[in-house]
Amino acid sequence: MDQALEDLREAILKGEGDLAQVAAQECLKRGLAPLQIVHEAILPGIQRAGELWNQGEYFIPDIVMSAEAYKTAIALIEQQLKKDSLGKLGRIVLGVVAGDMHDLGKNLVVTMMQAGQLEVVDLGVNVPVETFVRAVKEHRPQVLGLGAYMSTTMLSIRDVIAALKEEGLRDDLKVMVGGVPVTQKFADEVAADAYGRDAIDALEKAKSFLA
Ligand code: B12
């Protein structure tokens, strides 16, 4: 693996924001593709940090530092991805469901959608059901993306979909779901139109709805 990619992965894993910035700049200077940098360094770095958290080796301060380093690196790559994109193919409204403050995955999906020429209305984190409904009425997107990162908050996805139905908004809208505990099986159970395994999968599926 390219040394700059390895340095970037390590910097995110260890929560070294300054080193992550330098390494991300080095990756771009070497002409590596933004998507390659995301998939071979940035995601493996934060995913490994997540594994160490799961194994009880990382604590909240460690994971926060890794998340900050991740954000520094992704901000640089984002600028490049946005520069590469032109025009708009359609509109997606995206947000993280109520009670859930995780935003790294959602932000990556937003970046990827923007790079893939979609106009994104980002509702942020901890979004109440009514806000999703209001945003769909106001922005009339072709696609709604719902992110949930905990098995507890994941249940709100069902509430959002039910509220959209009640308001007569469901038929003209494709609903995509994703996040740490979300699976294809869960997407089927709540009658979502698609499950996005990662940001690239999410973009491909969103685009297929616009074709
Ligand atoms: C980083 C992290 C944090 C950070 C969040 C920083 C931030 N700004 O987001 C901090 C430390 C703040 C945090 C807090 C908490 N966390 Co936390 N966190 C994580 C961790 C380690 C990584 C998540 C992450 O960002 N992954 C990296 C991103 C890039 O991946 P991703 O989210 O999966 O996203 C990808 C795909 O899922 C997909 N995708 C994502 N969103 C969407 C949306 C759509 C529409 C689509 C189509 C696709 C899609 O594309 C993304 C890119 O490829 C996970 C552990 C893990 N194994 O994942 C726990 C984890 C999610 N957290 C957990 C918990 C319990 C908490 C806390 C309650 C801890 C506490 N006791 O305070 C709080 C909750 C606060 C709240 N109310 O939300 C649990 C949830 C368990 C559960 N019940 O399901 C996990 C699983 C850890 C664990 N095993 O216990 N957390």
Could you tell me what percent of the chain has a pLDDT over 70? 97
Same domain? For 29 and 122 the reply is no
Whether residue 79 is found in the same domain as residue 31? yes
* CATH at residue 55: 1.10.1240.10
**Residues 102 and 73 occupy one common structural domain:** no
The total number of structural domains in the chain stands at 2
Tell the residue nearest (CA) to atom 19 of ligand 1. Answer: 50
Residue that is last in its domain, among 52, 84, 116: 84
Please indicate, yes or no, whether residues 193 and 117 belong to a single structural domain of this protein. yes
The token pair at 163 is 């509220």
**Pair 67, 171 in one domain:** no
What pLDDT score was predicted for residue 85? 57
Write out pLDDT tens, residues 92-139: 999 999 999 999 999 989 988 887 788 999 999 999 999 999 999 999
Strands of the 174-178 sheet, one edge to the other: 118-122, 90-96, 143-147, 174-178, 194-195
Q: How high is the pLDDT of residue 148?
A: 98
Contact between 76 and 24 under an 8 Å Cβ cutoff? The reply is yes
Q: Which atom of ligand 1 is nearest to the CA of 149?
A: 61
Q: Are residues 76 and 102 in the same domain?
A: no
| Regions in the chain scoring below 70 on pLDDT | 83-87
The pTM (predicted TM-score) of the whole model is 0.86
List ligand 1's pocket residues with C-beta within 6 A.
Answer: 46, 50, 53-54, 60, 63-64, 67, 94, 99-106, 108-109, 145-147, 149-152, 176-181, 196, 198-199, 202
| Domain with 40 in it | 3-84
What is the rounded CA–CA span in Å between residue 98 and residue 127?
5
